Structure 1
Amino acid sequence: MYRFSIVIPAHNGAQFLHLAIGAALQQTRLADEVLLIDDASTDATVEIAKSYESKLKYHFHQEATGFVDAWNRAIELASGDFVTILHQDDLLHPEYLEHIEKALRRFPSIKHFYSACNYIDEHGAIIKGPPEPYSLEPVFYSGKEYARNYLNGVVTNNHIHRCPGVTTQRNLLLAECTYRKEAGHIADDDFFLRVGAFTDVVGISQPLASFRHHGHSVTGQRGLLTLELARDYVFQVLFHKGNKTLLDDEDITQVQLQAVKFINLLLFQSLLYKQQEWTQKAFGLRDELDKMLPSFMEKNLPLWARKMWGMTSAKSKKNRTAAFYVAVLNAIIKSRDYVKALLKHEFTSNK
């Protein structure tokens, strides 16, 4: 008989916390414990936790130390054989644990399970679904296959799963493959690309979880996110360059191209929003990447981006010519998106 823990790390997440807790408590296969790990919230999180006092275990941390520390703290506090991390604004569908347990019974040697998930907005409406086809049939993947599939989903923005909808053996999380704080905002992706070195993986393509996009989520704050992602992918380049991993050379090139993408986007946004500090950081990250991979970024930039970099100085406070160039590019992009939206509306409305 396996024991399952659902852990909910929270930091000032009162807006959707009731829904996350409800999803954890209303599983058709009840969790053996539900833990709420509060990373020094100052909103109504404490009051919400108290309203569920008899149904969950509440732990308050006096100092906010970030979401990765909160994940690892939650795993340490859990007592189940398997742990499911549920973010404060995400959902598990009622049958999630039931199907994970069935998969575990069928594949008892596997230590990492996932289901696909939907993307929902702040009202719970589905924005986007996972890759089709959907099936409740659990599928076995070697660790290497899983890592490659997951990376391909990241690169194409068509993830096979996200953080909600993942269940992992607690001992593996504690002793073999931990979440790394140095991986930054993509500590989850970093973990999913490494865990296959310690276990094969079983996945369910039917969405049994929901990942919420909203204005207050970190993933909803695009300007701030770009700087973090640029840093984080430079870290990934360094890691995969210095260590033997599950990824082959072609896969590692995709990771390197992600670093190029976000460093370039950082410069673009720095000029668009007149953030000189971001401009300096973009040049600094480009220098870091060039030290590891000489000329790689230059070779993989589109022509418009090469012109943008050529017009920009890390030392200048204004970069007027480059800023004007980026403003024009942004206007063109918005116009194309508007035309696409109009055409899509006209096409669908005439069906």
Structure 2
Amino acid sequence: MSSKMEGPLVTIVVVSYNHSKYIKENLNSVKHQTYKNIQLIVGDDASQDHSVKIFEQWLKENEYPAEKNFHSYNTGLAQMLNECIELAKGKYIKLIAADDFLHPEAIERCVSKLESLGEEFGMIYTDTFAVDDSSAIIPDIADYNTSGNVAPLVFRQELIKGNRIPALTVMMRRKALIETGKYDSKFIVEDYYRWLKINEKYLISYIPEKLAYYRTHAENISKTRAERVETEFVMLQTMFDKDGKVKDKINGFIQQKYLSGQDISEEFFTLYKKYPFHVKRLIFCIQNHIPPSLYKIACKFF
């Protein structure tokens, strides 16, 4: 497969936001893929550095064809991805941030595996190296083998417990991506949302090999952003948990927010009321603005 063009077209979408120092390494990893039937799409969301210049320079120097989607103002990742996907022509699609990069056999191995599987498999992912700012390999950020090396039907049930998929390693069938709708700008954790939607309709496969390089950055995530990410994870679990697999986590999260006097958004509360395994007394107390101090008394009546 590595030297032939008759394999299915694969679209690789590389998106950047202030990733100028990493773009060449990313694009070199695309160029050096053993699998050659690739449509490259590059996108930049109005970076404040010279990312677009680096993109243009590399494409010219390497005489590598690419579709370009360069924004003059920042729209956010979801809009950028949706626009790039509209340009995609491949049977399979890979989305990757410009600060990460690929193992030379990443595309070949993923295509080979997906082609050997039935149409019921909508996507595949792999293990990944972690690298520092200088691209030196560092200790793994997670154990993907433990969660990935299970039967596909088991993985389908387990994914609701948390995001077990490194986004940079994923290859999706274009059909599965389109069927599950556009990326939603209201979620920071748009990747997990996508996996859960695909997981409802398709099976997911895993290759237990490190076929990508995930860049870790020194900047610490802000407390506010970390809290938002945690809340979004629980919101998505509330939306997709049909069997009560994470009911204790969801109910405990809502209860903790209520008892500590934290705001619960109307959107989240609406989702929780529809959740089949919600706690009725929590619904009652929140809906009727019962002070947390009276919660134990209210519990006696439910």
TM-score, length of structure 1 as denominator length: 0.65
Separation (CA, whole Å) in 2 of partners of 1:25 and 1:5:
13
Residue deviations 1:232-286 (CA, integer Å, cap 9, x gap): 246436x52xxxx46420235445556778x69xx8xxxxxxxxxxxxxx72138
Provide the secondary structure at the position in 1 that maps to 2:212: strand
Which residue of the partner structure matches residue 271 of structure 1?
none
Q: What displacement does 1:95 show? A: 0.9
Separation (CA, whole Å) in 2 of partners of 1:173 and 1:120:
28
- Please state if 1:236 is matched with 2:214: no
Contact persistence 1:111–1:172 (CA under 8 A): yes
- Please state if 1:284 is matched with 2:263: yes
1:89–1:256 distance in 2 versus 1, CA, 3 Å: farther
Instruction: Count matched residues.
Output: 264
Contact persistence 1:111–1:199 (CA under 8 A): yes
The one-letter amino acid paired with 1:248 is D
Which residue of the partner structure matches residue 18 of structure 2?
12
User: Unaligned 5+ residue runs, structure 1?
Assistant: 268-281, 298-308, 311-351
Which residue of the partner structure matches residue 126 of structure 2?
115
Which residue of the partner structure matches residue 250 of structure 1?
245
- Please state if 1:105 is matched with 2:115: yes
Which residue of the partner structure matches residue 187 of structure 1?
190
Provide the secondary structure at the position in 1 that maps to 2:25: helix
Q: What displacement does 1:225 show? A: 1.9
User: In the alignment, which of 33, 38, 57 is matched to residue 39 of structure 2?
Assistant: 33
Q: What displacement does 1:107 show? A: 0.7
Separation (CA, whole Å) in 1 of partners of 2:18 and 2:44:
8
Q: What displacement does 1:197 show? A: 1.7
| Higher RCO (C-alpha 8 Å, min separation 6) | 2
User: Unaligned 5+ residue runs, structure 2?
Assistant: 1-6, 273-277, 284-291, 294-302
Provide the secondary structure at the position in 2 that maps to 1:164: helix
Contact persistence 1:177–1:198 (CA under 8 A): no
The one-letter amino acid paired with 1:131 is D
Q: What displacement does 1:77 show? A: 1.3
TM-score, length of structure 2 as denominator length: 0.74
Separation (CA, whole Å) in 2 of partners of 1:148 and 1:179:
23
User: In the alignment, which of 135, 138, 148 is matched to residue 126 of structure 1?
Assistant: 138
Q: CA RMSD in A?
A: 3.3
User: In the alignment, which of 144, 148, 152 is matched to residue 157 of structure 2?
Assistant: 148
Q: What displacement does 1:62 show? A: 2.3
Residue deviations 1:170-200 (CA, integer Å, cap 9, x gap): 2322233443222x11110111122122212
Provide the secondary structure at the position in 2 that maps to 1:36: strand
- Please state if 1:163 is matched with 2:141: no
Which residue of the partner structure matches residue 21 of structure 1?
27
1:138–1:65 distance in 2 versus 1, CA, 3 Å: same
The one-letter amino acid paired with 1:150 is L
Separation (CA, whole Å) in 1 of partners of 2:179 and 2:144:
35
Separation (CA, whole Å) in 2 of partners of 1:129 and 1:227:
20
Q: Which has the higher helix share?
A: 1
Separation (CA, whole Å) in 2 of partners of 1:138 and 1:2:
26
- Please state if 1:222 is matched with 2:222: yes
Over the matched positions of the two proteins, sequence identity in percent amounts to: 19
Residue deviations 1:298-323 (CA, integer Å, cap 9, x gap): xxxxxxxxxxx99xxxxxxxxxxxxx
Contact persistence 1:112–1:167 (CA under 8 A): yes
